[in-house]
Structure 1
């Protein structure tokens, strides 16, 4: 055997494929445990004080590409290796097995049948008539029969031989889709306030879509905890898109926006899919607070997150003097308020209800008229999704077909005897029990001792 054939045999080995599956599953678990596709500072902040598993600080996590496992070079190499192993295994084993199952084998002598896994000999007065009755019975029960003069060959469940090939093909297609999605996919998370829009641009800088948020609602339980978030969105065509008026004949009529492509509401676990883009309701935030200082007009001031003060706390530092002195901290945890006010020394000065009475801070009356929430929208474009779904479908179909047992049966009429033998690739006991039912009542004569037994 040449070195090339030995290499092919090693790559196509089933044990190697199983080992690769275990490694890929372990790598996927690591990708689930470690947050993916965050900034480098995030991993240093998270794992430098306390290394992951006590072994890997931030530099090691980044160096091993554990921050983007599914698009890392080593993970894609594992997928390619497994795909090659499955292709070679199908070519060397499953395809020849399917060809053998489709090929009619002609056994000509009773001695050949006696060596099969299941074999019996019937004593009968008219062997040819019994052979004819067996032919008819097999056809009625869904067997494929090939009849010759004094013998026949029959088979059933040949589709079961296609199952392993489809499983391998489905896994290869699934891995191709996963690799394509990892290399060619896009992912972005954006906080968007109601009335604002976000332009999605292609690699040439053209606006392909405009995402506009009309309304964002937070459903809370009686204790005030958020239960569900929902966003009312509009997708508008961008200046880089081809005109799709022919595909949307109703647009532009009755005062409708001619650029409107789709309007929908998304919520947690109910994303929107459009032209290869999936929009998820991922998070929420507080964008701005509307307030008045004394007799000033209503000011809309942006809020920022203060993780050092606690989880889901937003606020801003606001000076109360024209020269920027005497700053106070305004903090809020909900779009429903109230807004807490703290002095420069950290002392709590009071709180302001939304739309309520003003609070005098350092001699300045301060009113809050509203808090603007922001919707956290996750945008994902994964060109490999159709391949992934197709791979799953092929794998499930192949797994279902693999359950089918492939059964083959031969019969030879010789003198006053009918010799029958058969093979089965799985559930041999059931086939051995089915054979007497197939041969029953063919002839009133008694059945001789079996020539072979189920192995």
Structure 2
């Protein structure tokens, strides 16, 4: 009968062996995790320094090729490497995924085994075993029960079997690193989810107007589902509070969220650092402007003229041109710098004719010009990031895990043999504090023993 042949390894056996013997140790290597973390930090800093999600003209203006910033950073380099949207590039997401794989590998190959080893214990049965401990002592005529009581008072969990005793505390310190790794994985998942499904938009909306979110500057490849299509927002009113000196104190927007039929389903007055949140979308008060000016010429109906912001390096001004004759042969330029109701009137030669405030009348080119109102517009930043709850939860869990990691895992063994009690212990951190605790505990046990002897002597 021919001897049976050994089974030949299959392709999947080779893959499994490669994963266990080569890939898993590489991913669990602390040096790889440090390199990945530094790379993620460096590219995150670049994403903070370099403006994200801007137009091509912006990068061409601010990052010219000659001379290039630092000798190499030009707009072509930024666009080629994706530094204008760092957090959504394939290579940044790949760094996050590999770093997450490294954390997972380290957790299963190191942290879980360390926790399992900490939960497994055995009694010491030979005096020579205590010589291997960092701290050990020998006590004469000491009761193990007294030692156990003292350990319990120090919040140790005590196990005793005849002349053998074991106590431990701080097992949570072994769980802390696992919680830290889990929290970092949660943060990574939240960051990837936000990068893939989040979006950022800006809207400039005049008072009284209703809008849907359309002016999107930056969005992930799967962000379409997050962009609201079944509700819109109405700017009921926009206004600015000014200080007595005439400076802007705060600006406000009274916003209403409307469903498809125009019914109000949510409403809030927002200002800086007090946004409106609705169905995962957050609307921030970010800017303001002058949208239009309302005037009357003689007894005409109210005319609303849109105003555009002028390009200048000084204070912001908004302007429009108002014809004063039907054939548009003559007209005046109206300028406004704020919403306090003051408008400057210039003729075609650029000369200042008059300054009017809300409700005032000025004679220009033979007509009476009445200023009815200056209409403001609110500047809103709109964001949606479904990963934020995961990121915030991860940071909260990270703080908890760090606190847990600072707890020392301390162990104490004792063995009573031939009238001598051998005591020893070790800890994974705070060695000096543990030595002081154990020495004070031994002194207390010795004192208990002496008191017991005195009590027996007095009875006899």
Instruction: Please list, as runs of the form range in 1=range in 2, the aligned pairs for 1:23-422 lying within 5 A after superposition.
Output: 23-48=39-64, 51-53=68-70, 55-124=72-141, 127=142, 130-200=143-213, 207-238=229-260, 259-308=263-312, 310-326=314-330, 328-360=332-364, 362-422=365-425
| Separation in 1, partners of 2:345, 2:50 | 37
Q: CA 1:9–1:311 in structure 2 vs 1: closer, same or farther (change >3 Å)?
A: farther
CA RMSD of aligned residues (A): 2.5
Q: CA 1:388–1:308 in structure 2 vs 1: closer, same or farther (change >3 Å)?
A: same
| Separation in 1, partners of 2:414, 2:226 | 71
Q: CA 1:206–1:155 in structure 2 vs 1: closer, same or farther (change >3 Å)?
A: closer
Does structure 2 retain, via aligned residues, the 8 Å contact 1:199–1:208?
no
| Separation in 1, partners of 2:353, 2:68 | 41
Deviation at residue 141 of structure 1 after TM alignment: 2.5
- Specify every segment of 5 or more residues in structure 2 that has no aligned partner in the other structure, as ranges: 1-16, 215-223, 451-460
- Specify every segment of 5 or more residues in structure 1 that has no aligned partner in the other structure, as ranges: 240-256, 447-455
Deviation at residue 205 of structure 1 after TM alignment: 9.4
Q: CA 1:77–1:347 in structure 2 vs 1: closer, same or farther (change >3 Å)?
A: farther
Q: CA 1:205–1:57 in structure 2 vs 1: closer, same or farther (change >3 Å)?
A: closer
Q: CA 1:174–1:292 in structure 2 vs 1: closer, same or farther (change >3 Å)?
A: same
TM-score (norm 1): 0.85
Q: CA 1:65–1:363 in structure 2 vs 1: closer, same or farther (change >3 Å)?
A: farther
Does structure 1 retain, via aligned residues, the 8 Å contact 2:345–2:354?
yes
| Separation in 2, partners of 1:71, 1:325 | 54
Query: Is the partner of 1:20 in helix, strand or coil?
Result: helix
| Separation in 2, partners of 1:407, 1:108 | 19
TM-score (norm 2): 0.85
What are the superposed Cα offsets for residues 120-159 of structure 1, whole Å, 9 maximum, x if unpaired?
11122xx5xx111111222232211221221111110000
Does structure 2 retain, via aligned residues, the 8 Å contact 1:283–1:376?
yes
Q: CA 1:47–1:327 in structure 2 vs 1: closer, same or farther (change >3 Å)?
A: farther
Q: CA 1:400–1:200 in structure 2 vs 1: closer, same or farther (change >3 Å)?
A: same
| Richer in helix (by share) | 2
Q: CA 1:105–1:205 in structure 2 vs 1: closer, same or farther (change >3 Å)?
A: closer
Q: How many residues align?
A: 422
Q: CA 1:278–1:95 in structure 2 vs 1: closer, same or farther (change >3 Å)?
A: same
